[in-house]
Amino acid sequence: MLTRWLESWRARRETAAIARRPIPDDLWKRTLVRYPFLQRRDAAAADRLRRLTSLFLDRKEFSAADGLQLTDAMAVAIAAQAVLPVLELGLARYDGFVGIVVHPDLVVTRRSVVDEHGLVHEYEEELAGEAMAGGPVMLSWRDVRSAGRDTDVAYNVVIHEFAHVLDLANGASDGMPELPADIPASEWRATLDGEYARFTARVEAGDETWLDPYGAQGEDEFFAVASEAFFVDPWTMRSEHGPLYTLFARYYRQDPAGERPQPRRR
């Protein structure tokens, strides 16, 4: 009885949150046109995406940096892409953080590394986004916006950073998120290790790879880069990295290549 009561209480609270953050029809339609990989064939999944987007907007705190004027359209674009990976996993996967900081462009940060002689080397790095344990998630609006323009390039900074959030949620940044009971850690590791080894060998040999070569930086980056590809161009992902596509389809509980019509090439 308590469970049923709790369930109905949660449902009422969610409905109230969605009512607080309704997404106007025209804004939602423009978002789907701008980012076509958000479009769902199944009406129930399309509706769930919109509801989760409202809930995300209700639960997270957006802030703008470096003089950016944050608009509703920007927040909806970010929220809709952020919830796509957890469409079937649930928004609770993102409970570990609340803040999202949006910058107008790439962010230059100072990094330092210590070499084998104990010397500290400082360098500058340009970031399109960053996810940290406990948050906040940082995003460059220029990169968020460009993600929808060219779907031939499976590049998506929002999905990339939220894949890191999923990876970080269970402790280490190691390319392995919290897994469901039907995917043993050993199976995840074996598939990811195999695909990663093949991919890094090709990158090191100087081959032109379909996946962003940045994925060769480590298994955490490989998971994030492959997740972008899985959602943005699942058809190529399925033919280029079949075993990984199948593993991701089981993990994310989505089959985007089967759920979405493949766009015609111009």
Under the rule (CB under 5 A), what is the footprint of Zn ion? Answer: 221, 224
Residue nearest to Zn ion (CB): 224
CB of 221 to Zn ion, least distance (A): 5
Beta-ladder partners of 129: 139
User: Which residue, 49 or 82, is less far from Zn ion as judged by CB?
Assistant: 82
> Distance (Å, rounded) from C-alpha 248 to C-alpha 150?
23
Least distance from C-beta 164 to Zn ion, angstroms?
A: 6
Smallest separation (angstroms) from Zn ion to the CB of 224: 5
Distance CA 53, CA 22 (A): 9
**Cis peptide leading into residue 36 (ω within 30°):** no
Closest CA to 91 of 43, 181, 183, 21: 21
Residue 134 C-beta-side C-alpha neighbours within 13 Å: 0
| Closest C-alpha among 145, 141, 147 to residue 129 | 141
CB of 5 to Zn ion, least distance (A): 42
Whichever of 54 and 227 has its CB closer to Zn ion, that residue is 227
Closest to Zn ion by CB, 143 vs 221, is 221
User: Which among 215, 252, 208, 200 is positioned nearest to 231, based on CA atoms?
Assistant: 252
Rounded to a whole number of angstroms, the minimum distance from the CB of residue 173 to Zn ion is: 9
Going by DSSP bridges, is the β-strand pair 61-64/99-103 parallel, antiparallel, or unpaired? parallel
Rounded Cα distance between 99 and 213, Å, is: 29
Instruction: Compute CA distances 42 → 68, 112, 191, 193, whole Å.
Output: 36, 48, 29, 33
Q: How far is the CB of 212 from Zn ion (least distance, A)?
A: 10
